Amino acid sequence: MALFYSRELENGATISVWEITESEEELLSLSSVPSDELEELALIKNTKRRRERLAVRALLNEVFEGKVYLGHHDNGRPFLQNSLIEISISHTERFVAILTHPEESVGIDIESLDRDFSAVEKKALSESEIEFLSDKNRDLHLAICWSAKEAIYKRMSLSGVDYSKQILLKRFSPRDEGEIEAFFIHEDGEQMEFELGYTLFEGHVMVWMIG
């Protein structure tokens, strides 16, 4: 399919999205996969998971001119072993999304709206967030809230985060696209403020850090 969506943000970050329409063999032909990643792929029994991993590699090859080597920190956060560019990755069965920035930490999340997000209300939302949920578009509102908190979690790259107490979203109404103001509260009480952007497309929601 090649690049499905690309967007340059005002803060210098870039969003790139790949639609996974190819077979595993086609993705391999599109990807320049390092030998260590091929060995990891061979250990993955689930075909769908292998295609998702190969689509990530195909998208990296599309975005970067030279070969990049993808590594992961102990907490699972991805990084480029041979580049200082910051990166965040998210994928569903149909799409792979990456957010890159020359120097600032980033976070992106993409979710299929076919998922059941009903558990999010009890699992991840504060009382004030539950109060502003839309009665008419409650499922969509939950999906956007979850994706926003996931994007912030990826940006922070910390373990043991309480989504309902440490990642707080200001009131917003769900639309086809928009912006969300949010806070991250560290365990010592220090607060960080974030602005996120989101868009709906092809039955999916995607949320990213603006700055």
DSSP the chain: --EEEEEE-TTS-EEEEEE--S-HHHHHHH----HHHHHHHHT---HHHHHHHHHHHHHHHHH-SS---EEE-TTS-EEETT---EEEEEE-SSEEEEEEESSS---EEEEETTS--TTHHHHH--HHHHHT--STTHHHHHHHHHHHHHHHHHHHT-SS--HHHHEEEPP----SEEEEEEEEE-TTS-EEEEEEEEEEETTEEEEEE--
Q: pLDDT tens across 80-120, in order?
A: 988 999 999 999 999 999 999 999 999 999 999 999 999 99
Q: Evaluate if residue 133 carries a pLDDT over 70.
A: yes
Q: Say which residue, 123 or 72, is predicted with more confidence.
A: 123
Phi, psi dihedral angles at 29 (to 5 degrees)? -70, -25
Q: What is the pLDDT of residue 78?
A: 92
Q: Show the domains of the chain with their CATH numbers.
A: 3-106 (3.90.470.20), 110-209 (3.90.470.20)
Which tokens sit at 159? 């373990």
pLDDT on residue 211: 62
Looking at residue 5, its pLDDT comes to: 92
Chain-wide mean pLDDT for the chain?
A: 92
Predicted confidence at residue 42, as pLDDT, reads 82
How confident is the model at residue 71, as a pLDDT? 86
pLDDT at 65: 84
How many angstroms separate the CA atoms of 108 and 95, rounded?
A: 13
- Residues 16-66 pLDDT 10s: 999 999 998 999 888 777 777 788 888 888 888 889 989 999 999 899 887
CA dihedral 131, 205, 195, 182 (to 10 degrees): 30
* Lowest mean pLDDT segment, chosen from 74-83, 159-168, 176-185: 74-83
pLDDT of residue 1: 54
